[in-house]
Structure 1
Amino acid sequence: MKTKALRLYGASDLRLEEFELPEIKEDEILVKVVSDSICMSTYKCAILGEKHKRVPDNVAQHPTIMGHEFAGNIIKVGKMHQDKFRPGMKFTLQPALNYKGTMWSPGYSYEFFGGDATYCIIPHEVMELGCLLEYKGKSYYEASLAEPMSCSIGAFHACYHTKMGVYHHDMGIKEGGSLAILAGAGPMGLGALTYALHSDRRPSLVTVADINEDRLARAKALFPAEEAKKDGIELYFVNTANMENPAAELKKLAGGGYDDVFSYAPVPSVVELASAVLGRDGCLNFFAGPTDPQFSAKMNFYDVHYNSTHVMGTTGGNTADMLESLELTAAGRINPAVMVTHIGGLDSAGETTLNLPKIPGGKKVIYTHIEMPLTAISDFREKGREDKRFAVLADIVEANNGLWCGKAEEYLLKEWEQTD
């Protein structure tokens, strides 16, 4: 079986290549990838190469396939797994494997297993860990986005709180409490916001702070404060760019400080602001992973001692978080499409990955069996002047509040030329 895949050979060395996959073993599964969403973690992997913790030292000789947020169809099943999986099944997967103490993961570590490919081979450990999941929904992009959504879901579950004089940890964000999402108008912040507003365990107040007015304007349009208020949640969007004392202004909204604060950017000023706005027993979740192993920022340790503030970090979700994401999406309670701003084909995956921080907007979804330059959803109408297919896509998304959707995906997969 031939595949076309974006492969990592070293730091900033990505190559789109066609090659032969080996025949699957009895404990492996062959799949057709349909969609993969590009994560900032993928960018970090690409620029670091073998210096990344999940990338093998011999990647130059055995290049790995990029991409870990993917979904598609099962093609062939090794005999060890034929009791549970069958050809034709749709799938998604939990990529944080942690198999026997390793940090290996698709998109970083495997020669024949990754999402930026037309076809790939799922190794035995994925099934052993229960990380290959049947997907019963219609839209592949939603299955791809279940992974980034699961990261925020896991972060919400991992937060904890204590009571004065009692050192038992109550897990999860504080129900009915105050929550701040800093650098929160980007794709992952919006994913966290849709979960905060519509999950079973909700705060009573949410503040989304950012310094990019365009991103904040989009967030306000997608999440009207009056709608949140109907569900009993006070929702604020705040631009802290020109505030003389942003910590004081944010704390004023929360009546003195926040129970839970998420830092969605690996920037010292954002982390320090997160520390400064914590209320008593406040939990700071440093969500955004830095590339610098010496990254550090100030934290108020007076508050750590006397106000019981605490800090933690999470990376990725687990299988239960993935399943929760899929269930909430299927029920229409959360909408991962709020994260998506660009669509492209496999031919655009390499350039997109290496330039991800320079490309504005949110999540970039790659459809691996089509050729299409990375295109902003907001540019569909303009592109439609030369290519009528983009005009149709513009009609579809504009009827859906400007968001990517299942109807748009269906049209794309039907009308764009397939590469295999």
Structure 2
Amino acid sequence: MKIKGAVVHGKGQEFQIEELELSEPKENEVLVKVVAAGVCHTDAVARDQMIPVQLPAVLGHEGSGIIEKVGAGVKTVEPGDHVVLSFSSCGNCENCLTGHPAACIHLTEFNFGGKMPDGTNRLYQGDQEVSTFFGQSTFGTYAVSHERNVVKVDKDVDLNLLGPLGCGIQTGAGTVINKLQPEFGSTIAIFGCGAVGLSAIMGAKLIGCSKIIAVDIHDSRLELAKELGATHVINGSEVETLEEIRKITDGGVNYAVETTGVSPVVVQSVQSLRSLGTVAVVGATGEVTLNVQLDLLNEGRSIVSVVEGDSIPQLFIPKLIEYYKNGQFPFDKLVKFYELEEINQAFEDSGKGTTIKPILKI
């Protein structure tokens, strides 16, 4: 079928809205009419080839939409269902079978390899194969995806809002709720107040942390952090961050979440911990220099990395939606809507930080 999609043809180039050919869904696959798709930093780094996705490609991995058609063997959804699309996993490896699909041994291949799990393409321009992203490519009017990517959601919630739950928002909230699992009354610092960091703040509030410290360099984001549950905020460009955290907590936090990917901030997040504290690093980070003896061993501190909030999307995303409906997880305060044709502006605004979570209305 003919569809319209945002295509990247070369490294760092702008998206072009073009016509493509989308193949029919195969066994265990579904055809989704895309309603909206979140813009995520991962899309930007793929466009810029920091993640070497084969180009040309249709990116987009935070899609929401309506099931239009199902292939043979599909059992969990049917035409007309509202769905969120999340990351791709095999479902059969040891990590998937023990409840950690975000650590699937095929995660890189299935999400960044440009092809569907069966090794074939679904998107074409003439004879040219066009890469699929995260097994979905939702910067287009329709998408074919494996059933495992799809999460059925309530029809009484605005479907336009829900796409970012498939990656950025579940990453932030899940890092706290699923991976760190802070004890009730414990303390936590969140470094970076973008969509992931603010979602982590909401998760920390849900779980009952007593002191939730937001660290950023933009006062507007820190104000929103307070609205979403931060008990204290620190503008790292105006004060000495570690000194302030130690004052607030009488020595350091029990937990930290590092979302910026900025190497000196990663070091700060480690040094913000009290003895036996743990930091979860979720931002795309390059080389970091630590003094293992002083920064880790002497204090018994730990560093963990977390992908996709260590979530099982089919279980976790409906829970987040339920909290949203109850007024306990107001992630709608992070978003701003754009039309698909405004995709390049959405990426520019996201990169500058003027929009926390752009959503493209397809």
For normalisation by structure 1, the TM-score amounts to 0.71
Tell whether 2:293 aligns with 1:301: yes
Deviation by residue 1:56-110 (Cα, 9 ceiling, x = unmatched): xxx34xx3321101101111112322x4322111111221425663224568734
Tell whether 2:205 aligns with 1:197: yes
Query: CA distance change for structure 1 residues 238 and 84 in 2, over 3 Å: closer, same or farther?
Result: closer
Tell whether 2:104 aligns with 1:85: no
Contact 1:268 1:296 in 2 (8 A): yes
Residue 268 of structure 1: how far off its partner (Å): 2.1
Residue 117 of structure 1: how far off its partner (Å): 0.6
Contact 1:35 1:72 in 2 (8 A): yes
Query: CA distance change for structure 1 residues 325 and 191 in 2, over 3 Å: closer, same or farther?
Result: same
Tell whether 2:186 aligns with 1:177: yes
CA distance in 2, matches of 1:67, 1:106: 11
Residue 18 of structure 1: how far off its partner (Å): 0.8
Partner of 1:312 in structure 2?
304
Partner of 2:138 in structure 1?
115
Residue 186 of structure 1: how far off its partner (Å): 2.4
Residue 275 of structure 1: how far off its partner (Å): 1.7
Contact 1:68 1:107 in 2 (8 A): no
SS of the aligned residue for 1:80 comes to: coil
Amino acid at match of 2:65: G
CA distance in 1, matches of 2:216, 2:284: 18
Query: CA distance change for structure 1 residues 323 and 104 in 2, over 3 Å: closer, same or farther?
Result: farther
Query: CA distance change for structure 1 residues 179 and 275 in 2, over 3 Å: closer, same or farther?
Result: same
Partner of 2:151 in structure 1?
133
Contact 1:146 1:336 in 2 (8 A): no
Partner of 1:5 in structure 2?
5
CA distance in 2, matches of 1:10, 1:343: 26
Query: CA distance change for structure 1 residues 301 and 173 in 2, over 3 Å: closer, same or farther?
Result: farther
Amino acid at match of 1:311: I
Partner of 1:17 in structure 2?
18
CA distance in 2, matches of 1:366, 1:107: 21
Query: CA distance change for structure 1 residues 251 and 215 in 2, over 3 Å: closer, same or farther?
Result: same
Partner of 1:372 in structure 2?
none
Which residue of 63, 77, 80 corresponds with 1:70? 63
Trace 1:390-405 onto structure 2 (pairs within 5 A). none
CA distance in 2, matches of 1:358, 1:364: 12
Amino acid at match of 2:137: G
Q: Return the index of the structure with the highest Cα Rg.
A: 1
Partner of 2:101 in structure 1?
none
Gaps of 5+ in 2: 94-104, 116-120, 124-135
Q: How well do the aligned residues superpose, as a CA RMSD in angstroms?
A: 2.4
Partner of 2:220 in structure 1?
214
Contact 2:339 2:361 in 1 (8 A): yes
CA distance in 1, matches of 2:178, 2:72: 38
Partner of 2:317 in structure 1?
322
CA distance in 2, matches of 1:25, 1:268: 43
CA distance in 2, matches of 1:30, 1:71: 12
Query: CA distance change for structure 1 residues 105 and 362 in 2, over 3 Å: closer, same or farther?
Result: farther
Residue 29 of structure 1: how far off its partner (Å): 1.4
Tell whether 2:168 aligns with 1:145: no
Partner of 1:240 in structure 2?
236
SS of the aligned residue for 2:9 comes to: strand
CA distance in 2, matches of 1:299, 1:71: 44
SS of the aligned residue for 1:288 comes to: coil
CA distance in 1, matches of 2:304, 2:281: 6
Gaps of 5+ in 1: 161-171, 229-233, 369-420
Contact 2:28 2:71 in 1 (8 A): yes
For normalisation by structure 2, the TM-score amounts to 0.82
Residue 345 of structure 1: how far off its partner (Å): 0.8
CA distance in 2, matches of 1:2, 1:263: 42
Deviation by residue 1:113-157 (Cα, 9 ceiling, x = unmatched): 3111101111xxx32xx4311111421133212222211233114
Residue 279 of structure 1: how far off its partner (Å): 0.3
Q: Percent identity?
A: 21
Contact 1:257 1:279 in 2 (8 A): yes
Which of 111-120 and 202-211 deviates more?
111-120
Query: CA distance change for structure 1 residues 363 and 133 in 2, over 3 Å: closer, same or farther?
Result: same
SS of the aligned residue for 1:79 comes to: coil
Which residue of 174, 179, 186 corresponds with 1:154? 174
SS of the aligned residue for 2:24 comes to: coil
CA distance in 2, matches of 1:79, 1:134: 18
Which of 110-119 and 203-212 deviates more?
110-119
Which of 302-311 and 68-77 deviates more?
302-311
Query: CA distance change for structure 1 residues 23 and 211 in 2, over 3 Å: closer, same or farther?
Result: closer
